[in-house]
Chain A
Amino acid sequence: MVVALTVIRLRDLFAVVMLFGIYSLLSAALFVTLDAPDVAFTEAVVGAGVSAVLMLATLAQTSRHESVPAHRPWLPLAVVIVTGAFLVYGTLDIPPFGKADDPVHTHVAPRYLKQSGTEIGIPNVVTSVLGSYRGYDTLGETAVVFTAGAGVLVLLGGAWRVRRRRGED
């Protein structure tokens, strides 16, 4: 929370990137305490590691300091507060965290937990859900990663190709 507020206040983008890394690392620790090591692993590697480096590489091309905004922040702030209030109001209908008869615990989760040992035969249920029961979703995610890479290459990939050609001449 403190880290997030500092990120909003700061104008030095280098420090903001570092604080984002810290924020991801703290989230990863939170996921570990919630017994979700797979998610924590992803958060630590992606959030704290690679995305910080990618943001720094982007910073190297733009400027280090955020420009001071010309307009007052009150209208966006009001929109955000109203939206946030609606979202919090929506969470009041969600069943209490960790209750045994929540919809998440009564729908397909018990079947996955009981059957995946015999159906898939591997100990990590997260992997069998991702890879087999939800195989279509993971295929979609892989395609998204590929498309993102293709998009960045189309936008930025030309530069070093030009340079290499120049180097060969």
Chain B
Amino acid sequence: MEHHQILRVVTKFNLPLIMLFGLYVQFHGDFGPGGGFQAGVIIAAALILYTLVFGLDNAIRVAPPGVLRACSAGGVLIYAGTGTVNMMLGGNFLDYSSFTPEDAAAGQHYGILIIEFGVGLTVAATLVLIFFALAGRRSAERCD
């Protein structure tokens, strides 16, 4: 894909917009449609587009698989950890009201923001990892 000048320029122009939209969906999910899962997929789609246009080697340099694996596990950890913190604060597992005992609704709001972030992290990292695994297998065969 080195010679597709138009594709490269258009991709470079679009990538920040896609990622910005992903962040919007992530953190605006409690007011409009969307949430962690959708945002994670949008971010993953942006990275997959980058991989398609600029090649796997560049993409691995942008998002090292080790970091992605850590993010994939870390998202689940954030989610489950939130529930555990709730238990330590005296509430039930995943009962976010225990964050702010004086205002139950605010605690729920924080809790949902945190777990949605965990969901988005896991979904984005996992999808990119799966794509890397498929794409990397192909270029490894070509090397042989």
Q: Which A residues form the contact surface with B (CB < 8 A)? A: 37-38, 40-42, 45-46, 49-50, 53-54, 57-58, 60-61, 118-124, 126-128, 130-132, 135-136, 138-139, 141-143, 145-146, 148-150, 152-153, 156-157, 159-160, 162-163, 166
When distances are taken between beta carbons in the complex, the residues of chain A under 8 Å from B73 are 146
Interface centre among A60, A141, A149, A152 (most CB of B within 10 A): A149
Nearest CB in chain B: distance from A150 CB, A: 8
B62-86 contacts to A (CB < 8 Å): 65, 69, 72-73, 75-76, 79-80, 83
Interface centre among B42, B69, B105, B137 (most CB of A within 10 A): B137
B119 touches A142 (CB 8 A): yes
A153 touches B79 (CB 8 A): no
B38 touches A41 (CB 8 A): yes
Contact check: which of A37, A123, A163 meets B136 at CB < 8 Å?
A163
B76 touches A38 (CB 8 A): no
When distances are taken between beta carbons in the complex, the residues of chain B under 8 Å from A162 are 140
When distances are taken between beta carbons in the complex, the residues of chain A under 8 Å from B35 are 38, 126-127, 130-131
Q: Is B98 an interface residue, CB under 8 A from the partner?
A: no
The answer to whether A49 and B41 touch (CB under 8 A), given A152-B129, A163-B139, is yes
The residue in chain B whose Cβ has the minimal distance to the Cβ of A45 is: B41
The answer to whether A50 and B126 touch (CB under 8 A), given A139-B94, A152-B133, A156-B134, is no
When distances are taken between beta carbons in the complex, the residues of chain A under 8 Å from B123 are 142, 145
A124 touches B33 (CB 8 A): yes
The answer to whether A122 and B30 touch (CB under 8 A), given A45-B41, A50-B45, A152-B133, is yes
Q: Is B115 an interface residue, CB under 8 A from the partner?
A: yes
The answer to whether A119 and B105 touch (CB under 8 A), given A139-B83, A160-B136, is yes
B132 touches A160 (CB 8 A): yes
Tell me the complex Cα distance, A60–B69, Å: 24
The residue in chain B whose Cβ has the minimal distance to the Cβ of A135 is: B94
A57 touches B131 (CB 8 A): yes
Contact check: which of A57, A124, A131, A145 meets B134 at CB < 8 Å?
A57
Tell me the complex Cα distance, A72–B62, Å: 50
A61 touches B112 (CB 8 A): no
B69 touches A153 (CB 8 A): yes
When distances are taken between beta carbons in the complex, the residues of chain B under 8 Å from A58 are 134
The answer to whether A120 and B48 touch (CB under 8 A), given A54-B130, A145-B123, A162-B140, is no
When distances are taken between beta carbons in the complex, the residues of chain A under 8 Å from B31 are 122-124
- Told that A49-B41, A50-B127 touch, could you supply 5 new A-B pairs with CB distance under 8 A? A50-B44, A50-B45, A61-B138, A124-B33, A163-B136
